[in-house]
Amino acid sequence: MNIDVGVLGSTGMVGQRFVSLLSDHPWFNIESLAASEKSAGHNYKDAVDWVLDTEIPSKVQGLEVQETKPGLNADIIFSALPSDVANSVEPEFAEAGYFLASNASSYRMETDVPLVIPEVNPDHIELIDIQKRQRDWDGAIVTNPNCSTIILTIPIDAIRKKFDINEIKVSTLQAVSGAGYTGVPSMAIIDNAIPYIGGEEEKMENETKKLLGKIEEGKVKRSNIEFSAQCNRIPTVDGHLENVWIDLEEEIDSTDIKEVLRDYSSVPQDLGLPTAPSNPIKVSNQSDRPQPRLDRDEGEGMTISVGRVRGKKEIKMVTLGHNTVRGAAGASILNAELLAKKGYL
């Protein structure tokens, strides 16, 4: 495949992650980078305040940043826009015929917009046809969930496909990069933890139910699993850690749960999608793992690490994932690969 792509919000933290991950992609070629009016007209290397611990990819340094409006040379657009901007901009691109793989939250819960983790609910991309028809768009918007939602839902999906789940409770310890480079002041987070992230708990609870739901009569019938979240910000840079409690319908030995998690594989692995990790879930038997600094880059940041699996009727475990790779840019790229493989582009 040889597909031209563009990135909206290319100078922000998630936008930079898109640029980094796409720079050597075997299918996708970065042809267009867009950002604010302040950045438009400048070469990317001059417009961006690069904050990743890698160099700006040489192939994009000289690309001129364009205004965030239709007219970009691209077959698919990756959106790293803030939600308040994406709300009005993304429909303009979809109406103009672009397919958008969006990391923004603006349209995730719309009934005709696919909210997708390719391992969990690849069939939900069927909503694209309904979306295009109902909105009279030539293009479409496909979204990925919130970062903390992705890190939770993948191991939950592995378990619920084998065993019946009554209720899930989660308490997150989320890295500061989830709020953007300037999102949390250093004086607020150093030597501290903040037991509140605006809108995060609602996103986790609502998005997970949509992801685990089934399409019936052209709409997603959400999962009836009870769900409760408590979200906290801690002073790690990358990597969201989550403490999870799962109430099962019947007693299941934790050894069987670990086996189900280790064996988990799905459509992206079957299709050989380039960004898909060969092992979506890594299970640790060490009592003090996973840890953000040690495990967030597993599977080039796309693998979810799980540890401390214990219990029978109530299973307790810890999950960890890279929030700006698997939880953001990498998730959108994987969605776009699924669209390409299924012939939507």
Verify whether residue 240 is a known catalytic residue. yes
Judged on CB neighbours under 10 Å (0-12, 13-18, 19+), 54 is exposed
Helices 254-263, 147-160: axis angle to 10 degrees equals 110
Query: Residue 219's Cα: distance from chain center in Å?
Result: 22
Q: How far is Cα of residue 228 from the mean position of the Cα atoms in its chain?
A: 20
CA 191 to CA 7: how far, in whole Å? 36
Which listed residue (25, 42, 231, 240) is catalytic? Answer: 240
Distance CA 277, CA 153 (A): 16
CB 42 within 8 A of CB 66: no
The single residue of 124, 147, 231, 322 carrying the catalytic annotation is 147
CB of 6 closer than 8 Å to CB of 78:
yes
3-state secondary structure of 227: strand
Q: How far is CA 146 from CA 119, 227, 240, in A?
A: 15, 16, 12
Q: Could you give the residue numbers annotated as active site?
A: 147, 240
